[in-house]
Amino acid sequence: MCQRVAVACALLLLTRPFHAQQRPTFSSRALGVRVDVLVTDGHKPVGGLGARDFELRDNGIPQSVEVVDAADVPLNAVLALDTSASIRGRRREDLIAAGDSLLDDLKPVDRASLTTFSHAVAPRVPLTSDFPAVRAELHRIEPEGQTAIMDGAYTALTTTLTQTGRSLVILCTDGSDTSSWLEPREVVDAAKRSNAVFYGVTAADGRRSAALSELADATGGQILHVKSSAELAATLKGILNEFRSRYILAYNPTAVALGGFHTLDVRVKRHGLTVKARPGYIGVGGGS
């Protein structure tokens, strides 16, 4: 009982500053709105597109967009790893190896953070460019307890609030949620207020989580299923490569109110291509 009370208190501390500021990273002021967009031909990312190849509507109103060079924007890689009792043995080794591989592929200008969750959530390392510190903490994970997926996802998402750069949240779990305190709608709301793109990696034989799919859809991310933990390293590497292949569209909202929820519709003019982006953002209110 004491342990669950401690978890509740920790989540309350995380929730308070988030609800107190109620400020999304998306801004409709001078810096404009920035949207990560994945364009694919089948399963293959498509490169070489320019601003003229895109059509973007904000609340139904066409906007003039620019394409920002992704190489100029540092990456925030946020790992949220399931460390419940079910990942003992080989699964633990494969999970650590996958995390190591992801860190190996980051650039010096990037940052990484590590959150683990079982029945309790542990924000182990905040966003940092000290990759050896993240790696050392990764190797200390020990499986125990049940699984609080939504609590872990929420903690990882709050890591990205007010951060500069592009944020990628990768959550890995092999089970279903058995002990979260937070409701899925609260976590999806946090996702809408973050500029992060959320990817979930789950066991192919595990129970499907509608909540994880909602998080991915709300941020323009994806849910991937692996048949065994041996596939984790390649899967995380693929996620990072795909994220780096995304386009960054930037624009200053024109002829739309600044505040409230904005519906986004992003398309490409070339036929046969698929576009994936977040369906909307919460804009900063009006004012001069």
What lies within 8 Å, CB to CB, of 16 at 6+ separation is none
pLDDT reported for residue 207:
63
> What's the N-to-C CA distance of the chain in angstroms?
51
Q: Which CATH class is domain 33-71+246-283?
A: mainly beta
pLDDT reported for residue 26:
42
| Domain 2-21+73-244 belongs in CATH node 3.30.950.10 | no
pLDDT reported for residue 193:
87
pLDDT reported for residue 208:
62
- Tens digit of each residue's pLDDT (9 = 90 or more) over 197-231: 999 999 876 666 789 999 999 999 999 999 999 99
Q: Structural domain boundaries of the chain?
A: 2-21+73-244, 33-71+246-283
- The reported pTM is 0.87
- Tens digit of each residue's pLDDT (9 = 90 or more) over 112-124: 999 999 999 999 9
Q: What are phi and psi of 164, to 5 degrees?
A: -85, 170
Q: Is the pLDDT of residue 175 over 90?
A: no
258/81: higher pLDDT: 81
- Cβ proximity of 180 and 146 under 8 Å: no
Separation CA 212–CA 283 (nearest Å): 24
pLDDT reported for residue 288:
34
pLDDT reported for residue 8:
37
pLDDT reported for residue 181:
95
- Tens digit of each residue's pLDDT (9 = 90 or more) over 48-92: 999 999 999 999 999 999 999 988 899 999 999 999 999 999 999
Confidence of residue 37 (pLDDT cuts 50, 70, 90): very high
1/175: higher pLDDT: 175
pLDDT reported for residue 206:
62
Separation CA 149–CA 203 (nearest Å): 13
Confidence of residue 3 (pLDDT cuts 50, 70, 90): very low
Mean pLDDT, residues 93-109 taken together: 97
For a pLDDT cut of 70, what percent of the chain falls above it?
Answer: 86
For a pLDDT cut of 90, what percent of the chain falls above it?
Answer: 76
In one letter, which amino acid is 226?
V
271/7: higher pLDDT: 271
Distances (CA, A) of 224 to 60, 127, 173, 194: 31, 24, 11, 21
Using CB atoms within 10 Å of the CB of residue 239, give its burial: 0 to 12 exposed, 13 to 18 middle, 19+ buried. Answer: buried
Q: Is the pLDDT of residue 279 over 50?
A: yes
Name the residue with tokens 């779990």: 173
258/31: higher pLDDT: 258
Separation CA 65–CA 77 (nearest Å): 26
pLDDT reported for residue 72:
84
pLDDT reported for residue 9:
36
Confidence of residue 171 (pLDDT cuts 50, 70, 90): very high
Question: Within 10 A of 14 (CB to CB), how many other CB atoms are there?
Answer: 19
